[in-house]
Amino acid sequence: MVYDEIFASRIKVADFSLRHTFESAQPLTFYGHYNNASNTLTYADGQHMLNVGFEGNAESGQIVVASRYANAIEDVKKRFRLEDDMNGMYASVSTDAFMRKAIGKYRGMRVTLNDPWETTVCFIISQFNNVKRIRGIVLKLIGTFGSDIKDDNDRVIGRSFPKSADLLNVTESDFKKIGAGFRARYLAEAAQYCTHNLDLYKLDPNDYEGLKSELTGITGVGDKVADCIALMGYGNMHAFPIDVWVKRTLEKFYFKGRKKSVKELHAFAEKKWGRYAGFAQQYLFYQGMNI
C-alpha cells in the first residue's frame, strides 16, 4: 500500500475481512475501488477520499487508514461497525450447520453502515439486476452527476456521490442514458421526494417498522429494498432483506425445499436470529450466492 505523503493511522481489529465485506453486495461494492493484490479499498465520503487497507487475517489484524480527512478514523469505525461485539453476534447467529459453515468461510465480513441516500440509490438500482451491472450504473451516475474531489494541489483524486438535491434537474431520460433502464423513473422521483418530502437523515434508525413505512413511500422502494436500506443505511439489524438468493437458500436448507412466502420467512428469521437477523442475512446471502 503506497501512501505518498498522506498520513496513515492504524486500528487494531479482530474478526475483519476487507475483501469479503467489499464483495458481498453492499453499497461500497457498487462504488468503492478494491485492489485484491494489496487488499486495499478506496472510497469517497462526501468530498473526502479514504484509502483503507487491512493487514493480518480474519481473526486478528490491523486496518490502515490513509487520508487527509480529519474524521477519517471515525468514518472507518462507523462505516465498518468496528464497535460491534462480533464474538457475541457470531455466537447468537451460529444456530445450525449452514450458518456455522458460512461464518467459517466468510469470517470477518462486516455489515457496513452507509449514507442513507447513497444506500437508497444503490438498492433502487439493484432491482432485477446483478452486481456487475449495478456497479456499472452507480459508477456512471457518480461520474456523470457527481463533483470532483481534489487534493491540496488541486488535482482531481475522485468523484463524490451526488446528493438528492444534485439530481433534481436530472430527467428520466438522463438516467436512462447511464443504463438505469426502468429504474430511471424511480431515481428521478426518489431525488424529488427525498429532497422535498422526506428527510432521510431525520428518520429513527431504531424504529424498524417506522423506517420501512417511511422508506416504502419512495417510488421504487418495496419490502426488500426497504430492508436493505434499513440494514445498511441505518444499521437496524432487525431488517432482513429477502431477495431471490436468500429465499432459495432458506427454503433449501431450512424448509427442505418447500416454498415459503416472504412473510413466513421474515417471521422465521426473527424467531431464529432475533435482533441480529440482518447480520445472519448477510452470511446467508453471500453463502447462497457462492454455493
pLDDT of residue 152 exceeding 90: no
Residue range 70-113, pLDDT digits in tens = 899 999 999 999 999 999 999 999 999 999 999 999 999 999 99
Residue with cell 431450512: 254
Q: What is the pTM of this model?
A: 0.95
Which pLDDT belongs to residue 3? Answer: 40
Q: Do 116-234 and 8-83 have the same topology in CATH?
A: no
Q: Is the pLDDT of residue 137 over 70?
A: yes
Q: Which CATH class is domain 116-234?
A: mainly alpha
Question: What angle do helix axes 116-125 and 223-234 make, rounded to 10 degrees?
Answer: 150
Q: What is the H or E stretch that residue 201 is in?
A: none
User: Domain spans of the chain?
Assistant: 8-83, 116-234
- Alpha-helix residue ranges (DSSP H) falling in the chain: 18-23, 27-31, 72-79, 86-93, 97-106, 116-125, 131-145, 172-177, 183-196, 208-215, 223-234, 244-254, 262-273, 277-289
- Cell reading at 218: 419512495
Residue 221 C-alpha from the chain's centroid: 16
Q: What is the pLDDT of residues 175-194, one digit of tens each?
A: 999 999 999 999 999 999 99
Confidence of residue 4 (pLDDT cuts 50, 70, 90): very low
Q: Are 4 and 68 in contact (CB under 8 A)?
A: no
- Of the candidate CATH numbers 3.40.50.2300, 3.30.200.100, 3.30.70.260, 3.30.310.40, the domain formed by 8-83 belongs to 3.30.310.40
Tell me the pLDDT band of 7, cut-offs 50, 70 and 90.
Answer: low
Q: Would you give the DSSP letter of residue 216?
A: T
CA 180 to chain centre: 19
